[in-house]
Amino acid sequence: MKLKLVSSILFLFAITLTWAAEQAPPPATGAVAPEVSLTSGDGSAVNLKDYRGKWVVLYFYPKDFTGGCTLEAHNFQRDLAKYAALHAVILGVSVDSAESHKSFCAKEGLNFKLLADTGAKVSTEYGSVMDYNGMKIAARNTFIIDPKGKVAKTFIGVKPAGHSDEVLQALAALQKS
């Protein structure tokens, strides 16, 4: 029985190490943010470089219409005026299609852009892709990008419930320094 338990733990550890070895690291704080050029739920092309001069909260999330992702999106939506006061925009990224994002925004009353990374290219460049039951999905990570296009703060493996508050606090602190 103990041998079976130890074997199971070692197997899970090996899988985790394999995933970590294959996973690209997120961009370092201070590094130029990898370019983002994706289609949003409204069908428009969104390029990160178009937001130079503003703060950008680029958040990656696994799937439209799921509990944690809906909670996280609602909290960002709730705080949109606070982000605007800090000259920041919210951009959400998942591997869902632009059509899925359009439906998600309409159903949940979201007024910020969700970007379709259907090939997981951008998610990979940000070290934010993971395998879930044989599918590539975005990992729940967030990046604050400064007005010059550099990564100012990184949040890895975030919890959706208080995340918007956490990002607002970090954004305010970054702008004071």
Active site residues: 69
Report the alpha-carbon angle 109-113-118, nearest 5.
Answer: 110
Whole-angstrom distance, CA of residue 125 vs CA of residue 159: 21
* Amino acid found at 24: A
Cβ-contact 174, 146 below 8 angstroms = yes
Cβ-contact 91, 56 below 8 angstroms = yes
With CA atoms as reference, report the closest residue to 28 among 114, 174, 123, 145: 145
Q: Which residues pair with 39 in a beta bridge?
A: 45, 116
Using CB atoms within 10 Å of the CB of residue 82, give its burial: 0 to 12 exposed, 13 to 18 middle, 19+ buried.
Answer: middle
